[in-house]
Amino acid sequence: MNRVVHPIEEESYRRLRARLDTSHFPALTRAVVERVIHSAADLAYADDLVMDEGELAAAHAALHGGAPVVVDVEMVGAGITRRETVCRLRDAVAGPGLTRSAHAIRLAFEEVGPGALWVIGNAPTALEELLTLDADPALVIGLPVGFVGAVESKAALRASGLPAVSNVSEKGGSAVAAATLNALLYHPVSHPEEPS
């Protein structure tokens, strides 16, 4: 992907790196940490985010190989640039014991099947629902925000053993969830050397 970086973004990253040394992180982890911090202007994310470089590498390959991207709310989708997303919230309905967000996740899974990248930045119940499905995700970006259910749903995601990016605190939200996916989207794809 050829992406022109605006001078304001370049300066923002320069200032971020002047205040926080991210050089010790592996490449994809660093890309995620820096883009999340950039999106939230919150340096504390460096110690709050939880991810695994190997899982990020596999997700990066899946993303650039065309795996579908599912979002819990349209605001997350709006923040993901240069990539179509699936959001079924408009089609979802709440029912007994089922929030609209959870129903949207069921509908999205029926549409995309296994192997997708799931980006949840708003609703803890969407993340909880995803964990009940046999989604076999390429990655779950589980960063819902809030004081009710957010911490617990993210802890359940980490305990599930699914490939994931999450954080420990109540913080999160659409902007940081989209930023996480964008970090993988913008990171260059390495091509193996052609035999001579």
Residues with a catalytic annotation lie at 38
- Could you tell me the two tokens for 108? 């999205």
DSSP-derived 3-state class of residue 191: coil
Strand ranges for the chain from DSSP E:
49-50, 69-71, 117-120, 139-142, 164-167
Q: What are phi and psi of 135, to 5 degrees?
A: -80, -20
In angstroms and rounded to an integer, the radius of gyration of the C-alpha atoms of the chain is: 16
Best CA proximity match to 161, nearest among 50, 66, 24: 50
